[in-house]
Amino acid sequence: MPSFDVVSKLDMAEVENGVANVMREVGQRYDFKGANCSVEVTEEGLTILADDDLKLKQVHEILQGQMSKRKIDPRVLDYQVVEQAAGQSVRQKVLLKNGIATDLAKKLVKDIKAQKLKVQIAIQGEELRVTGKKRDDLQDVIAFLKGQDLEQPLQYENFRD
């Protein structure tokens, strides 16, 4: 029986390369001259340190642009609350969405079943396995999922006939 997996994976090497490019651009831009701005990769995601809110917003734009250039969907960036750091500087944590969360997986299963497609969906950890008798049914599921407005990008892999 044909099947495929719905996953949400993130290439951390590309994220680190994007952060390095952000730091290089911040160092070269005139409006950041003398500013103390940085982006660091941590275990749980990224940490942005900026002099003020305006510079923080500019770093956001640069970060999203660099991620897009590296073919990483900006929706994987989950910006947390801005914290005050020493003086007027601000700090913000950015979580990276990797894997499909259980509540999102359940919502996707419910939405696919509501379409009355003849497929079976199994939640396997942080991914979904979709199985059906016909390849066309599986392609309909992919088209349906691509049409959804989700807060996280999805990839479709391991398609087997």
The reported pLDDT for the residue numbered 60 is: 92
Cα separation, 89 vs 65, whole angstroms: 23
Task: Give start-end residues of each CATH 3.30.70.990 domain in the chain.
Answer: 12-96
Residue 161 pLDDT exceeds 80? no
Cα separation, 64 vs 73, whole angstroms: 8
DSSP-derived 3-state class of residue 137: helix
pTM to 2 decimals? 0.80
Q: How confident is the model at residue 157 (pLDDT cuts 50, 70, 90)?
A: confident
The 10s digit of each residue's pLDDT in 7-24 is 888 888 999 999 999 999
Q: What is the mean pLDDT of the chain?
A: 88
The answer to whether 59 touches 22, Cβ cutoff 8 Å, is: yes
CATH number of 12-96: 3.30.70.990
- C-alpha 73: how far from chain center: 6
The reported pLDDT for the residue numbered 31 is: 84
Domain 3-8+99-160 classified CATH 3.30.70.860? Answer: yes
What is the per-residue DSSP string for 82-98?
A: EEE-STT-EEEEEEE--
The reported pLDDT for the residue numbered 122 is: 87
The 10s digit of each residue's pLDDT in 94-138 is 998 888 888 888 888 888 888 888 888 888 888 889 898 888 888
